[in-house]
């Protein structure tokens, strides 16, 4: 029963959080001055009649509470609306952007996890040594630098050697063969994925280092040392395995942001993913695109955080006490 109560409690909290996020997601964008029709004021021959017709067509003439009820009703039926700019279903547009975002951010996130765990374990194992100082200080600097600064530095240093714009070469007169297209995408993916790696791996290094140092002082580790086990086996089989519990939430949150995309990175490298789509939607006051994109991001983070809570309970049932 304790397990069922814990799952029900966490699931209820997740559902309430999703509802609050949906409500905030609707109203926050409408607090901003202007709307999708405002830009028409700069277009020649855009008279008051045209602006009024578009306002009615977009449903912006209705009171906010009525727009909110319509939004909830459509969302309940799986309809995220139609983009004000592209006049296409938001779900279709976001799905296309999501297919571009997920591979790039997944590669960068997995690479940051691998590098962060390795350097964190190395720093804890060689505590106080030169390797520890280099790993820790490098992780702190990488974690402290803004994402846009790291992206721009890589752009300046490596743009002459690697593609730095878009997802593929744009000026092709015939379709590429599959493997050639895959190699083209992978080549364009290097700089944005590397930026994501540098942005994210520092947190993993610092968390793993702290956790491993704590477990190295536990009684079972001291017992393993007294038995004469090799240091590598003590570190990886006894210390690291029990030190990775704090990583669960961190990894779950990072994978939640995979769905949302790395907005700044996609803007810097013009990667046609969901982050760039959100940036363009902000500048164009495209409410349905903004609501759909942030809804996907919010729900993915909440669900993955819920999954991490269940994994926590599986690994350590004491957390429900």
Q: What is the per-residue pLDDT for 282?
A: 80
More confident residue, 10 or 39: 10
The number of folded domains in the chain is 1
Q: Which of 1-15, 75-89, 116-130, 158-172 has the highest mean pLDDT?
A: 116-130
The span from the CA of 167 to the CA of 188, in Å, is 6
Element (H, E) at 144: helix 130-144
| Helical packing angle, 274-284 and 90-125, nearest 10° | 120
The C-alpha angle 228, 136, 264, rounded to 5 degrees, equals: 135
Q: What is the per-residue pLDDT for 33?
A: 62
Q: What is the per-residue pLDDT for 209?
A: 87
For residues 141 and 128, the answer to whether their CB atoms sit within 8 Å is no
Question: Does position 141 have pLDDT exceeding 60, yes or no?
Answer: yes
Question: Does position 24 have pLDDT exceeding 80, yes or no?
Answer: yes
Tokens for 287, please give them.
């409410």
Which one, of 59, 300, 301, 267, lies nearest residue 155 by Cα? 267
Q: What is the per-residue pLDDT for 45?
A: 53
Q: Per-residue pLDDT tens for 230-282?
A: 877 777 777 777 777 777 767 766 666 555 557 788 888 888 888 888 888 88
Question: Picking from 177-181, 267-271, 298-302, which range would have the lowest pLDDT averaged per residue?
Answer: 177-181
What is the band of 40 on the pLDDT scale with cuts at 50, 70, 90? low
Residue 17 sits in a domain whose CATH number is 1.10.3720.10
Strand partners, 82: 89
HEC secondary structure over 183-227: HHHHHHHHHHHHHHHHHHHHHHHHHHHHHHHHHHCCHHHHHHHHC
- Its domain, for residue 189, covers 2-320
Burial class of residue 152 (count of CB atoms within 10 Å of its CB; 0-12, 13-18, 19+) = middle
Question: Does position 292 have pLDDT exceeding 70, yes or no?
Answer: yes
For residues 33 and 47, the answer to whether their CB atoms sit within 8 Å is no
Q: What is the per-residue pLDDT for 213?
A: 84
What would the mean pLDDT of 113-135 be, rounded to a whole number? 87
The span from the CA of 107 to the CA of 193, in Å, is 6
Separation of first and last alpha carbons in the chain? 12
What would the mean pLDDT of 282-288 be, rounded to a whole number? 78
Q: What is the per-residue pLDDT for 247?
A: 73
Question: Does position 155 have pLDDT exceeding 70, yes or no?
Answer: yes
């Amino acid at each position: 029963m304790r397990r069922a109560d814990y799952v029900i409690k966490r699931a209820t909290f997740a559902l309430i959080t999703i509802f609050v996020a949906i409500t905030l997601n609707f109203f926050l964008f409408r607090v901003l001055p202007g709307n999708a029709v405002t830009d028409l004021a700069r277009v020649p021959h855009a008279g008051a009649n045209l602006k009024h017709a578009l306002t009615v067509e977009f449903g912006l003439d209705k009171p906010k509470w009525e727009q909110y009820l319509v939004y909830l009703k459509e969302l309940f039926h799986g309809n995220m609306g139609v983009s004000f700019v592209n006049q296409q279903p938001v779900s279709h547009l976001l799905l296309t952007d999501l297919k571009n975002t997920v591979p790039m951010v997944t590669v960068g996130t997995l690479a940051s996890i691998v590098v962060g765990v390795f350097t964190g374990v190395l720093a804890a194992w060689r505590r106080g040594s030169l390797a520890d100082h280099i790993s820790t200080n490098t992780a702190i600097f990488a974690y402290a630098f803004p994402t846009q600064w790291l992206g721009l530095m890589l752009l300046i240093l490596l743009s002459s050697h690697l593609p730095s714009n878009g997802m593929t070469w744009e000026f092709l007169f015939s379709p590429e063969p599959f493997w050639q297209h895959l190699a083209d995408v992978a080549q364009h993916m290097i700089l944005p994925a590397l930026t994501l790696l540098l942005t994210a791996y520092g947190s993993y290094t610092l968390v793993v280092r702290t956790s491993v140092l704590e477990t190295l002082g536990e009684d079972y580790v001291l017992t393993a040392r007294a038995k004469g086990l090799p240091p590598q086996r003590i570190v990886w089989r006894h210390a690291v395995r029990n030190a990775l519990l704090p990583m669960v939430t961190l990894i779950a949150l990072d994978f939640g942001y995979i769905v949302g995309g790395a907005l700044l990175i996609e803007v810097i490298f013009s990667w046609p993913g969901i982050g760039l789509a959100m940036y363009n939607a902000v500048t164009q006051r495209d409410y349905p695109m903004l609501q759909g994109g942030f809804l996907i991001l919010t729900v993915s983070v909440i669900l993955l955080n819920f999954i991490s809570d269940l994994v926590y309970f599986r690994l350590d049932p004491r957390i429900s006490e």
